[in-house]
Amino acid sequence: MSEEQFQKGWRLKLHEIIYGTHTPAGKLFDIILLVVILYSIIIVMLESVPRFDLKYHGFLNVSEWVVTILFSVEYVLRIICIKRPSKYIFSFFGFIDFVSTIPKYLSFFIGGSQYITAFRALRLLRVFRILKLVRFVGESNNLVRALKASRTKIFVFVFFVLIVSVLLGTIMYLVEGPEHGFNSIPHSVYWTIVTLTTVGYGDISPETPLGQFIATLIMIIGYGIIAVPTGIVSAEYASARKVDKTVDEGRSCHNCGADIVRSDAEYCRKCGQKLNDD
Amino acid sequence: MSEEQFQKGWRLKLHEIIYGTHTPAGKLFDIILLVVILYSIIIVMLESVPRFDLKYHGFLNVSEWVVTILFSVEYVLRIICIKRPSKYIFSFFGFIDFVSTIPKYLSFFIGGSQYITAFRALRLLRVFRILKLVRFVGESNNLVRALKASRTKIFVFVFFVLIVSVLLGTIMYLVEGPEHGFNSIPHSVYWTIVTLTTVGYGDISPETPLGQFIATLIMIIGYGIIAVPTGIVSAEYASARKVDKTVDEGRSCHNCGADIVRSDAEYCRKCGQKLNDD
Amino acid sequence: MSEEQFQKGWRLKLHEIIYGTHTPAGKLFDIILLVVILYSIIIVMLESVPRFDLKYHGFLNVSEWVVTILFSVEYVLRIICIKRPSKYIFSFFGFIDFVSTIPKYLSFFIGGSQYITAFRALRLLRVFRILKLVRFVGESNNLVRALKASRTKIFVFVFFVLIVSVLLGTIMYLVEGPEHGFNSIPHSVYWTIVTLTTVGYGDISPETPLGQFIATLIMIIGYGIIAVPTGIVSAEYASARKVDKTVDEGRSCHNCGADIVRSDAEYCRKCGQKLNDD
Amino acid sequence: MSEEQFQKGWRLKLHEIIYGTHTPAGKLFDIILLVVILYSIIIVMLESVPRFDLKYHGFLNVSEWVVTILFSVEYVLRIICIKRPSKYIFSFFGFIDFVSTIPKYLSFFIGGSQYITAFRALRLLRVFRILKLVRFVGESNNLVRALKASRTKIFVFVFFVLIVSVLLGTIMYLVEGPEHGFNSIPHSVYWTIVTLTTVGYGDISPETPLGQFIATLIMIIGYGIIAVPTGIVSAEYASARKVDKTVDEGRSCHNCGADIVRSDAEYCRKCGQKLNDD
């Protein structure tokens, strides 16, 4: 029983360091983790540059193994120090942590550099863990609230833009045709979205006077409707600013790892676990 | 008389399914219709891609016939189950439904694939019927109200932008001239709008120092005035949010097919027909 | 004296037609003028298209002479029917009306098509007279008030953007250099403004990794600061909407031709002339 | 003592001219300085244009020496007429003034035009001193307050945009690959930011259908999230407008050179020096 008590105390301490962010050790852990993640992303990026890969292949390979082992240790510790490991393993960040660690081991068994490169890309998703640090800033709450409130409206808007793009794209296909680079309707729709969003690559551009006239109309439409999402978000954000509640960040549930947002919370809002137990 | 009563009951039921959206059957009908429309759009798109058309011409052709027949049946049923068919036939959606169905039949009598392709494009307008489903979301009301309120202002703004474009386009034509790709005043005006709306294809770009200086001015003007429509829509939307009334959607007039917006409506706001009659 | 009285009455009537817009005749005059101006702009545009000019040179030339004579008559009548012609002649629109009419006559005496084309462009400024009609809409008042209120702030902003552009342009010149198309500092500043305003022609684009990294920073800066003018105009417009006063449009001072804005005005706000005198 | 008194009076007068802007002499000094700075920037720019440098090398060189000597004199006077010179020397503007003056002297001792050109660029930072004049306008206060209030939120937003760019860039690298110009992950991330910010150079553009589809998604995301910074700045600026306090500009502390913002200030807010002493 005392053994169990000890282990529980040891696991609780580890839990506070790895999941929590309100102790100095927990903060340090998260900052170190952030640095290692950034380092691993830079390595993946440099590996994709042929010039660097030729010159420093050995160094990059060793670096990646070191990072992979560090992440493996972190992954195992995360599972150990939580009461219900399945809650973590099948959570969003649990999944990202897993797919960030596994590809390098797989490259050992399965040859074929093509596939491994593809897996490496997924490791970049690890950066989203940094967003947990972003919460510290405490400023993004209003932003998230405003975006959530305007979600449906933005969707309706994007849906309408897509319908308009399909229609205008078809008209441009009929006007310009394959001889001016508008090879097919999907290709013309791609061009319409490039124009409507004011990106304007210029890989395809209208050449007939009528096509240029329609392109002009599309641009002015795009210029006008760019106001719509902005108007929505502005209004929602302005009203979201008024519903600002103070939150106590840094604690997390010992049972399922969820963040404790309200400072007066006594039970975890995700799994119902009594908080502050030892 | 009982015969008539029966037929009326039968037509009323069909009306509820096809026009209405507040019964399970009516919802199902609209969702199936939506899927068929999307399918027909994808087929029209794929037909325009030479690679696909060569390989799957037979399949695409059969698919289109199936879709055309389904739409024909729907069109006839829509006319049958409404009291005054002319109200539907000459409405916006009645017209779109007709031009979405007819081109394939016309292709039977009239040769010349060129024309048929043109008609096919019109069939894409059918997607606008999806917007009836969009109303479900119930969120687009404020948006529509804000856009309606700012309609005139946006028009004044676009009008002013066009005048500025004609003036600046002419100046650029005089500065750069045909030897740098500014072939004519209309072409220069096209370039000016491409620049002013920050699209910037790069198919034509100024090459003389003076031309580049004027281009810089145009860009900064465009950057500045992009704020105007946004400011208008933001302000209008913010005030439209406050005039939000609850509406009961899903009912439609049995006489003319118009949507019944207010839940306490007893008469159709379009044709004066007493509602809830049977 | 009766002669003078008659002439005064005749001139007053003409004044109401030409300058005023609150009588049916005055409205008709302005609409006809608008059509003729648009027609003259289209002719100038078509003349610049080599294909059209070759084919229809005679017709275009005659059209232009007709338009020029109509404008000349209008210009003379405007001077006759006003009490103090100098007020009109040296006003903004008086100057535009003059330079819109004179080039065609000058082309008679002075050879050299080059110069005449340049003058033709100025004739396009005539379109601004259409803005007098725009006032009808009555909606642009808030817009103008918002733009006037944010004038200084927009200027400070544009000034800051220019300083940033000069600095970033110089850095890009040092990083990329003439061998990648950044020929000189002014040319690099041009590229920076093209990038900062998100126009992005692609006539010059960074090729070194460091240059592309700096370009990325410039884009994100541009993306961020595009919010500033929008924020200003939105806020100003929202507060301008609340200060909306009803105005009586359509009257104009018989003495100096200025528009009478307030319906209860008894004296011209520009020259102090008592209004409603006859 | 009278000597010291005189010198103090002389230095105080000079201080008012150079640092202060509320006397006619102080205003004149700042305007002359502004003109000389603009002149020096134009010279640096013209020197970088090969055509100009070949033709007017002598004149440009002499001009630069004149400007350099003027700036040297100004720098020395600034140090003399302030009580604690170190406060100025190690301030932001003190540093800029120094690096704006020194490169020309260094070019005398150290050969190698390459380095000198690099230093010349720094001299352009001198333009920021103009911003001191901008303060006159008195309009930029709300703007600065709004930008300061939204600083953290904009940072969170930019951080999120960067993460999304890295992820989407990696996916595009895997989809398009080096054979379509997406040479490496950093290069693909560069392309993603070019697209997301709607700049769209077109130096690289997707060529596979899947790549064009993903590009379309990136554009629509970019179009949607352009609303976020605008919404933030709009809301912050609207609330900043309400906290507008009248300030008395033009005075500056005799001890440390800081600007005195409040008209009722009796002590310098930076160094605690009693103001209005003589």
Could A152 and B137 be called an inter-chain contact, meaning their C-beta atoms sit closer than 8 Å? yes
A77 in Cβ contact with A14 (< 8 Å)? yes
Sign of the Cα torsion B221, B224, B225, B226 reads positive
CATH of the domain at D47: 1.20.120.350
Average pLDDT of chain A? Answer: 74
Reference B100, options B79, B78, B69, B77; nearest CA is B69
Q: Same domain for B189 and B109?
A: no
- Give the separation between CA C130 and CA C34, rounded to whole angstroms: 6
The reply to whether residue A156 touches residue B143, judged by beta carbons under 8 angstroms, is: yes
DSSP 3-state assignment of B77?
helix
Residues C18 and C120 in one domain: yes
Give the C-alpha separation, A271 to A258, whole Å.
9
- Identify the bridge partners of residue A267 per DSSP, sorted by sequence position: A274
A199 within 8 A of A184, measured Cβ to Cβ: no
Q: Which tokens belong to B270?
A: 């379009």
Query: Chain A: nearest CA to D108, how far in angstroms?
Result: 40
B161 to chain A: which residues are within 8 Å by CB? 220, 223
Is D257 inside a domain boundary? no
Q: Is residue C120 scored above 60 in pLDDT?
A: no
Taking every pair of Cα atoms in chain A, the longest distance, rounded to a whole number of angstroms, is 86
pLDDT tier, B216 (very low <50, low <70, confident <90, very high otherwise): very high
Does any CB of chain D come closer than 8 Å to the CB of residue B234? yes
Q: Which residue has the higher pLDDT, C85 or D143?
A: C85
**Residue D252 DSSP label:** E
Say whether B201 and D198 touch across the interface (CB within 8 A): no
How many Cα atoms within 13 Å fall on the side-chain side of residue D258? 16
Compute how many other C-beta atoms are within 10 angstroms of the C-beta atom of residue C178.
Answer: 13
Give the pLDDT confidence score for residue A86 in this predicted structure.
87
Residues ≥6 apart with Cβ < 8 Å to C127: B163, B166, B167, C37, C38, C41
Among C41, C226, C236, the residue with its CB nearest the CB of B223 is: C226
Binary contact (C220, D118; C-beta < 8 A): no
Which tops the pLDDT comparison, B264 or D151? D151
Instruction: Please answer yes or no on whether D220 and A238 come within 8 Å at the CB atom.
Output: no
Residue D10 in this model has a pLDDT that exceeds 60: yes
Q: What distance in Å separates the CA atoms of residue C79 and residue C61, rounded to the nearest whole number?
A: 27
Which residues on chain C are in Cβ contact (under 8 Å) with D45? 184-186, 189
Distance CA B270, CA D226 (A): 40
B224, B226, B232: residue with CB nearest C237:
B232
* Averaged pLDDT, B241-260: 53
Closest CA to D19 of D74, D71, D57: D74
Structure-model confidence comparison of residues A207 and C110, the more confident one: A207
CA torsion sign for D9, D10, D11, D14 is: positive
Task: Determine the Cα–Cα distance for residues D90 and D95; give it in Å rounded to an integer.
Answer: 6
CB atoms within 10 A of CB A130: 16
B20 vs D161, which has greater pLDDT?
Answer: D161
pLDDT for position D216: 92
Looking at residue D165, its pLDDT comes to 86
Q: Are C230 and D230 in contact (CB under 8 A)?
A: yes
- The answer on pLDDT for C134 being more than 50 is no
Is A127 in the same domain as A199? no
Nearest-CA neighbor of B106 among B180, D158, B114, A201? B114
H helices of D177-226, where? 185-196, 209-225
pLDDT of D125: 54
Q: Would you state the pLDDT for residue D210? A: 92
Does residue C176 share a domain with residue C102? no
Chains sharing 3 or more CB pairs under 8 A with chain C: A, B, D
Overall domain count for chain D: 2
B154, part of any domain: yes
Q: Looking at the complex, does the CB of residue D106 fall below 8 Å from at least one CB of chain C?
A: no
Note which residues in 195-214 of chain A have CB less than 8 A from chain C: 198-202
Looking at the structure, tell me whether residues D211 and D152 fall in a common domain: yes
Rg (CA), chain A: 26
Asked whether the predicted pLDDT for residue C244 surpasses 50, the reply is: no
Which of A109, A131, A153 corresponds to the end of one domain?
A: A131
* pLDDT score at C131: 52
Residues A171 and A118 in one domain: no
User: CA of D172: which chain A residue's CA is closest?
Assistant: A121
- Nearest CA distance, D2 vs chain B (angstrom): 57
| Kind plus residue range of the DSSP H or E element containing C195 | helix C185-196
**Which pLDDT belongs to residue D133?**
47
**Would you call B198 and D201 a contact, using CB atoms and an 8 Å cutoff?**
no
- D1: confidence class by pLDDT, cuts 50, 70, 90: very low
Distance from CA of C197 to the nearest CA of B (A): 6
CB atoms near residue A278 (< 10 Å) = 7
If asked whether residues D28 and D109 sit together in one domain, one would say yes
pLDDT of residue B247: 40
Higher pLDDT, B220 or C146: B220
Which residues make beta-bridge pairs with B260? B251
Domain end, chosen from B107, B131, B155, is at: B131
Residue of chain B with shortest Cα separation from D226: B230
Three-state DSSP state, B174? helix
Q: In this model, does residue D241 exceed pLDDT 80?
A: no
pLDDT of the residue at C213? 92
Q: Is residue B63 part of a domain?
A: yes
More confident residue, A105 or A202: A202
Per-residue pLDDT band for A116 (boundaries 50, 70, 90) equals very low
CB-based contacts of D267: which residues, under 8 Å, 6+ apart? Answer: D273, D274, D275
CB-neighbour burial class of residue B152 (10 A; exposed 0-12, middle 13-18, buried 19+) = middle
Q: What contacts C218, CB < 8 A, 6 or more positions away? A: C168, C192, C195, C196
D190/C163 Cβ within 8 A: no
Do C121 and C150 lie in one domain? The reply is no
Chain C residues within 8 A of B198 when measuring between CB atoms: 197-199
**Residue B259 forms beta bridges with which residues?**
B252
Query: In this structure, are B231 and B161 located in the same domain?
Result: yes
User: Between A151 and A135, whose confidence is greater?
Assistant: A151
Band (pLDDT 50/70/90 cuts) for residue D255 is low
CA B113 and chain centroid, separation: 25
Looking at the structure, tell me whether residues A48 and A160 fall in a common domain: no
Quote the pLDDT of residue D277.
40
Both tokens of B272, joined, read 């004066």
pLDDT band at A124 (very low <50, low <70, confident <90, very high): low
- D202 and B201 in contact by Cβ < 8 A? yes
- What tokens does B42 get? 């994808």
Residues of A in contact with C202 (CB under 8 A): 201-202
- Do C106 and C161 fall within a single domain? no
**Terminal C-alpha separation, chain D:** 14
Chains B, D: CB contacts under 8 A, how many?
Answer: 9
The answer to whether B142 and B244 have CB atoms below 8 angstroms apart is: yes
String of DSSP letters for C165-193:
HHHHHHHHHHHH-GGGT--SHHHHHHHHH
Which residues, at least 6 apart from A50, have a Cβ–Cβ distance to it below 8 Å? Answer: D178, D183, D184
Mutate to test the interface with A, among D230, D237, D239, D241 (most CBs of A within 10 A): D230
Select the more confidently predicted residue: C43 or C73: C73
Say how many C-beta atoms besides its own lie within 10 A of residue A140's C-beta.
Answer: 20
Count, in order, helices (H) and strands (E) of chain A. Answer: 11, 2
Asked if residue B181 is part of any domain, the answer here is yes
Least confident span in B98-102, B194-198, D20-24, D29-33 = D20-24
What are the two backbone dihedrals, phi and then psi, of residue D245, each rounded to the nearest 5 degrees?
Answer: -105, 145
Query: How far, in Å, CA of D130 to CA of D21, rounded?
Result: 13
* Residues from chain B contacting residue C49 (CB–CB below 8 Å): 183-187
Last residue of a domain, one of D131, D150, D167: D131
| Contact between chains at C49 and B152 (C-beta distance less than 8 A) | no
Say which CATH number the domain at B223 has: 1.10.287.70
Asked if the C-beta of C237 comes within 8 angstroms of chain D's C-beta atoms, the answer is no
**H runs (alpha helix) in chain D:** 2-18, 24-48, 50-80, 85-89, 92-109, 113-123, 130-137, 140-149, 151-176, 185-196, 209-225, 227-240
Buried b / exposed e across B168-193, counting CB within 10 Å, b at 16+? bbbbbbbbbeeeeebbbbbbbbbbbb
With 0-12 CB in 10 A as exposed, 13-18 as middle and 19+ as buried, what is C80? Answer: middle
Distance CA C100, CA A44 (A): 64
- Residue A250 located in a structural domain: no
Say yes or no: C122 and C205 in one domain. Answer: no
Mean pLDDT of chain C: 74
Looking at per-residue pLDDT, the higher value among C163 and D3 belongs to: C163
Residue A122 lies in a domain: yes
The pLDDT score that the predictor gives to residue D30 is 75
pLDDT at C196 > cutoff 80: yes
Cβ(D125)–Cβ(D100) below 8 Å: yes
Please report, to the nearest 10 degrees, the dihedral formed by the alpha carbons of residues D107, D113, D119, D121 taken in order. Answer: 130
- Report the alpha-carbon distance of residue C215 to residue C205 in Å, rounded: 9
The larger pLDDT score, comparing residue C177 to residue C153, is at C177
Does residue B197 have a pLDDT over 70?
A: yes
State the DSSP H helix or E strand holding residue A16, giving kind and residue range, or none if neither: helix A2-18
Count the alpha carbons within 13 Å of D103 in the hemisphere toward its beta carbon: 20
Using the CB atoms, write b or e for C226-262: b if 16+ within 10 Å: bbbbbbbbbbbbbbbbeeeeeeebbbbbbbbbbbbee
Residue B246 DSSP one-character state: -
pLDDT tens for D96-146 read: 778 777 777 777 666 544 444 445 455 555 555 555 544 444 455 666 777
- Find the angle CA(B127)-CA(B129)-CA(B134) to the nearest 5 degrees: 100
Q: How far is A8 from chain D (nearest CA, A)?
A: 37
Which residue in the block uniquely carries the two structure tokens 């709004």? D146
A247: pLDDT strictly greater than 60: no
Q: A99 pLDDT exceeds 50?
A: yes
Q: Give the Cβ contact number of residue B37 at 10 Å.
A: 20
**Domain range for residue C26?**
3-131
Q: Does the distance separating the beta carbons of A48 and D184 come in below 8 Å?
A: yes
Candidate ranges A151-155, A210-214, A240-244; pick with highest mean pLDDT: A210-214
The interface pTM score, or ipTM, of the predicted complex is 0.75
Query: At B28, is the pLDDT very low, low, confident or very high (cuts 50, 70, 90)?
Result: confident
- pLDDT beyond 90 at A214: yes
Tokens 């005043």 belong to residue: B185
Name residues whose C-beta falls within 8 Å of residue A45's C-beta, 6 or more positions apart in sequence: D184, D185, D186, D189
Residue D217 near residue C216 (C-beta atoms within 8 A): no
CA distance B82 to chain A (A): 28
Q: Nearest by CB to C234, from A198, A199, A234: name it.
A: A234
The answer to the question of residue D271 being in a domain is no
Average pLDDT over residues A190-208: 89
- Report the alpha-carbon distance of residue D210 to residue D215 in Å, rounded: 9
Q: Check residue C122 and give its pLDDT.
A: 54
pLDDT of residue A245: 39
Which residues from chain D sit within 8 angstroms of residue B199, using beta carbons? 200
Residues C34, C127: Cα–Cα separation, whole Å: 8
pLDDT of C16-30, one tens digit each? 888 776 677 877 887
Residue A100 lies inside a defined structural domain of this protein: yes
